[in-house]
Amino acid sequence: MRLFQFFLLLTIYLHGAFAVKEYLFKKCAQSGFCNRNRHFASQVAENVDYQSRYSIDESTLNYIESDASIVGDIFKTVSDSTKIRFPFIINILENNNIRLRIDEDRSQIKLENKLLKKERYNEASKYAFNGEPKSSTNYKFNQISNGKFSIVYGDKNQYEAIIYTTPFKIVVNYNGEEQLVLNDRSFLNIEHFRTEDENDVNLTPEESSFNSFHDDFKDSKDDSLIFGPESVALDVSFNGFKHVYGIPEHADTLSLKDTSESEPYRLYNVDIFEYETDSRLPMYGVIPFMVAHKVGLSAGIFWVNAADTYVDIKKTENQVDNVLSSKTDTKTHWISENGILDIVILIGETPTDVTKSYASLTGNVQLPQLFSLGYHQCRWNYNDEEDVLQITENFDKYDIPYDVIWLDVEYTDSKKYFTWKKELFPDPERMLNKLDETGRTLVAIIDPHLKTDYEVSDEVIKQDIALKNNKGEPFKGHCWPGESVWFDSFNPKSQKYWDHLFRNGTGLAGDATNFHIWNDMNEPSVFSGPETSSPKDLITYGDWEIRSDHNVYGLTFHEATYESLTKRFVNKRPFILTRAYYSGSQRTASMWTGDNMSKWEYLKISLPMILTSNVVNMPFAGADVGGFFGNPSKELLTRWYQAGIWYPFFRAHAHIDSRRREPWVPGEPYTSHIRDALKIRYALLPLIYTKFYESSITGSPVVDPLFYITPENIKSFEIEDEFYFGGLLVKPVTDEGAESVEIYIPDDEIHYDYETYQTYQGEGDHHIEAPLGKIPILIRGGTITPRKDRVRRSSKLMKYDPYTLVVALDSKGDAKGTLYIDDGETFDYENGDYLYINFEVSNNEIKSNVNSGSLNASNKVEKIIIIGSSTGGIGNEATVSQGSEWTTSIISGENHAVIKSPGVKLNENWSIKF
Ligand SMILES: *[C@@H]1O[C@H](CO)[C@@H](O)[C@H](O)[C@H]1NC(C)=O
Ligand SMILES: *[C@@H]1O[C@H](CO)[C@@H](O)[C@H](O)[C@H]1NC(C)=O
Ligand SMILES: *[C@@H]1O[C@H](CO)[C@@H](O)[C@H](O)[C@H]1NC(C)=O
Ligand SMILES: CC(=O)N[C@H]1CO[C@H](CO)[C@@H](O)[C@@H]1O
């Protein structure tokens, strides 16, 4: 659910309908630390003789055996008499990532405020990383000479980091070529601690003191800014890389834009209830990870900081010997309000390598329960038990598959979480059991703001597990229920009470296990707070200002919920949807892009947003089908479903003021088109589940941007309205009135129409008719797609159904694919109760080999569809071997042949000659 309507209306009334965002959200120029760092960068850039003030004192350099780190001190020369010490650590991590951390020595400073730690915040990595990353000892450290030292790493010594001491700079080479440079443009800037009285003597000529000790932005005037200026900033240049991606969440293009003439991309979790497309404004979640790609190489930057952050991007054509080359460099400038400087540099041969390498640090997506990959029906709100059951009946009546119904905030008594409105939902457990009869699940909303004066918030205050204001008292602000306190999920002690609230057998959901949770408003959204979020000087557990850990708050909240549900269920994988997220959220939650509008442009922008999410290893992502605000036309609604079936997280949602728009509401022919789209989704659940399994093991995307498949093809680097889902190349129709699309095929591989098997071949655009009932889908030659073609009312009812394999031959007559099977619900797969199968076709033979796992799956293969022109020559009989040999029939058709009922068992290897 979105914004506080009242505030929205009030804001529009006061400031005019188009000034809403301007009014609520800081621009860089209005933000003290961003303004100061952009000013600093412009001063430095103007001065050709400028030398960075940061240099390593060579005498401090040391190798620490215990964690194979290289340590030393960087000094910032403020004036002849003043040098500030910043200890640094460099580690080579497994997977050949290099990590640099720079801290400030604050041991000598005196802080009057005893409520806060005086150190810089250094715990973002604790939440982002999936455990402390292992340091590699396997590198060569070339001692200092001529003002530099170097580290050579990688199994072929292909990586080299050269660290220059004076001024400080790091150059990272790969295969002998310079790829990335840190502090290339001397924008490194760490604002060291000083009091307001001491400020003047601590400022260098290129610095400004704009809003260093107070904030003149509307709602943040009361910010106490106890530490004064303390930002960290650094520039990173990517040599020869024209394209960079990632750093969600923004409603913007896949390939990020040059920001020289606009706002920087801002990373700050906020409830941005009226986001615009083509925007660098912050949104609900943050993943400070950027991927750069060029032909032959990919690289990444992980900026491990959880404070308010801005990123400037500048693309420059390279001058070589005064000749403008076609080589473009991308120069980035990272600016965070506080915390230590913590950066990881990743280099890989392909973008997939870089995404996986990042996943090896932060963890892979959790394997979801199968039901959660089905269709989710939500609106604000389904009113009562009867409404919920009626919706379910209608899905069955109209023969439309669906798995999950959602309850937004109105199910609660006075918006008090963990209560129900008794007159509307007299017996939640009864309702859940009725849903369970047809394999359906309920997801209900639970948010971190807790209405004051009821037993849950009373207990949270009593147990001292609420966020605190800058005086150390429980913070009170406004949200949906009116005055509220906020659950401090940073506090380990808070878990026990959270577990207690979710425990089995209470009025919340009785003993039901088809009950899962939606965590919304966890940026946190505070209607009465600056930028609709928490004041930055709130205090979280550990005596840190929320200024430092703001962007991980949402993660700690959904992780707490996940933990509680694992306890409630004994052995079921919890499903959690979160709106706010951070690096690491993929381990326990899915996300959606928040409140969008029922307009074509929002359908369009959802595709790059979801691709970006996959690039940064948060693949369980979706957008509200139909749009949140307003009323989509029947055509838009239909096209949105046709696109939405490809969102890894597939949910329709609508605002309380929107008219009902469940799939049967638009009527014919729309309802049939929507049903057809949903049936494609359900038939493809085996593919979708397999992609999630693979992502959960390797960190690979679930949906691939084109350049992940053809990283050598420059033309694919900016394509954001098409994608590959496994072997399927999809271009959803996102234009009103469109009757056809031009689909771009990124290489010369054969592709086949998903329904007619018509052949498309040749790198370039291909025309496909796409009247309202048609989704442009091509199958890439060389792939094998698993399906279940008997679509039923819910995914659970399809559990024992047989599989269909769709083999799309490449020009050599070969193909490959995989299939993952388990019980779809429990953690038993962690003990080997699963099957991961490799299929391979060549020389007119399909081979199935169990790669790993040992589940005794009883599912059969009911047919194998082989697509390709060479299928014309196939006979009418195939020979199956699995232990013994037998024959089965083949039926030939246009450009394809079908092997019927081969009678193989999936848990043993088999082969079929055709
Ligand atoms: C929840 O309650 C049900 C029925 O009372 C019981 O079978 C189940 O074991 C309980 N689960 C837990 C985690 O206590
Ligand atoms: C199935 O094939 C895999 C891969 O070739 C092989 O490792 C495994 O031993 C085979 N299993 C059986 C039962 O033959
Ligand atoms: C596998 O399942 C089949 C049928 O469900 C059963 O007959 C067979 O004994 C099972 N095999 C194993 C190894 O459990
Ligand atoms: C993606 C997007 O634009 N979301 C917005 C959709 O429109 C609603 C209504 O203004 C906003 O609340 C969402 O933020």
**Cβ atoms of 864 and 897 closer than 8 Å:** no
The CATH architecture assigned to 370-683 reads Alpha-Beta Barrel (3.20)
Residues 622-642: what's their mean pLDDT? Answer: 96
- Give the pLDDT band (50/70/90) at residue 11: very low
pLDDT given for residue 6 in this prediction = 41
Ligand closest to Cα of 499 equals 1
Residues sharing a CB contact under 8 Å with residue 146, sequence separation 6 or more, in sequence order: none
In this prediction, residue 722 carries a pLDDT of 98
The reported pLDDT for the residue numbered 278 is: 83
Q: Which residues of the chain form CATH 2.60.40?
A: 25-236+338-362
Half-sphere exposure of 886 (CA within 13 A, CB side): 10
Q: What is the DSSP letter of 801?
A: P
Helix, strand or coil, per DSSP, at residue 362: helix
Name the average pLDDT for the chain: 95
Residues of the chain with CATH 3.20.20.80: 370-683
Tell me, using a 6 A CB cutoff, whether residue 511 lines ligand 1.
yes
Residue 12 pLDDT exceeds 80: no
Q: Is pLDDT larger for residue 3 or for residue 216?
A: 216
Specify whether the CB–CB gap between 355 and 362 falls below 8 A.
no
Q: Does residue 24 sit in helix, strand or coil?
A: helix
Q: Are 99 and 91 in contact (CB under 8 A)?
A: yes
- The best mutation among 836, 850, 907 to test binding of ligand 2, ranked by most ligand atoms within 8 Å of the C-beta, falls on 850
Q: Across residues 328-354, what is the average pLDDT? A: 98
Token pair belonging to 499: 């577990």
Residue 164 has pLDDT above 70, yes or no: yes
Residue 102, Cα to own-chain centre: how many angstroms? 27
Q: Which ligand is nearest to the CA of 853?
A: 2
Q: Of 93-97, 98-102, 250-254, 594-598, give the lowest mean pLDDT range.
A: 594-598
The residues lining ligand 2, judged by C-beta closer than 6 Å to any ligand atom, are 849-850, 908-909
Closest CA to 306 of 270, 264, 337: 337
Q: Note the ligand closest to the C-alpha atom of 908.
A: 2
Cβ–Cβ < 8 Å for 801, 770: no
pLDDT grade for 321, boundaries at 50, 70 and 90: low
Distance between Cα 597 and ligand 4 center (Å): 5
Left if phi > 0, otherwise alpha if psi is -120 to 50, otherwise beta: which for 519? beta
Tell me if residue 595 is catalytic.
yes
Tokens found for residue 274? 């009226």
Which pLDDT does position 323 carry in this prediction? 65
Active-site residue flag, 520: yes
User: What crossing angle do the helices spanning 600-615 and 351-362 adopt, rounded to 10°?
Assistant: 70
Provide CB contacts within 8 A for 712, sequence distance 6+. 295, 296
* Tokens of residue 705, six digits: 């941007």
User: What is the pLDDT at residue 273?
Assistant: 76
Cα separation of 586 and 289, whole Å?
14
Question: What is the residue type of 529?
Answer: G
Angle 670-683/685-698 helices, nearest 10 degrees? 50
> pLDDT tens across 13-46, in order?
333 333 346 578 999 999 999 999 999 999 999 9
Is the pLDDT score of 483 beyond 80? yes
**pLDDT above 60: residue 408:** yes
Closest alpha carbon to 706 in 740, 729, 734: 729
Out of 312, 595, 624, 822, the active site residue is: 595
Look-up of token digits 């024992």: 800
Rounded percentage of the chain residues whose pLDDT exceeds 90:
92
Fold of 25-236+338-362: Immunoglobulin-like (2.60.40)
pLDDT digits (tens, 9 = 90+) for 211-220: 999 999 988 9
Task: Name every residue whose Cβ is closer than 8 Å to that of residue 435 and which is 6 or more positions away in sequence.
Answer: 388, 389, 392, 405, 441, 442, 514
CA distance 635 to 637: 5
- Closest C-alpha to ligand 1, atom 2: 511
Q: How far is the CA of 855 from the centre of ligand 2 (A)?
A: 14
Question: pLDDT digits over 437-476, tens only?
Answer: 999 999 999 999 999 999 999 999 999 999 999 999 999 9
DSSP secondary-structure letter at 659?
P
User: What's the pLDDT at 594?
Assistant: 87
Residues linked to residue 803 through DSSP beta bridges, in sequence order: 861
Active site residue 103: no
With CA atoms as reference, report the closest residue to 378 among 677, 688, 121, 655.
655
What does 448-501 look like in DSSP terms, one character per residue? SEEESSSHHHHHHHHTT-B-B-TTSSBP-EEETTEEEEEB-TTSTTHHHHHHHH
Assigned token pair, 241: 């890389």
Q: Which two tokens stand for residue 162?
A: 């050269």
Q: What is the pLDDT of residue 723?
A: 98
The Å distance, Cα 152 to ligand 3 centre, comes to: 54
Q: How does pLDDT run across 551-595, given as a tens digit for each residue?
A: 999 999 999 999 999 999 999 999 999 999 999 999 999 999 987
Residue 362 has pLDDT above 50, yes or no: yes
Residue nearest to atom 7 of ligand 2 (CA): 851
Ligand 1 in contact with 505 (CB < 6 A)? yes
pLDDT digits (tens, 9 = 90+) for 693-726: 999 999 999 999 999 999 999 999 999 999 999 9
Report the separation in Å between the CA atom of 493 and the middle of ligand 4, taken as the mean of its atom positions. Answer: 36
- Distance between Cα 669 and ligand 4 center (Å): 28
- Distances in Å between the alpha carbon of 858 and those of 548, 834, 879, 908? 52, 12, 22, 11
* Contact (Cβ atoms closer than 8 angstroms) between residue 587 and residue 619: no
- What is the mean predicted confidence (pLDDT) over 813-824? 98
Indicate the top mutation candidate among 504, 563, 564, 566 to test ligand 1's pocket, ranked by most ligand atoms within 8 A of CB: 504
92-106, 310-324, 795-809: which range is least confident on average?
Answer: 310-324
Q: Ligand 4 mean position to 692 CA, how many Å?
A: 28
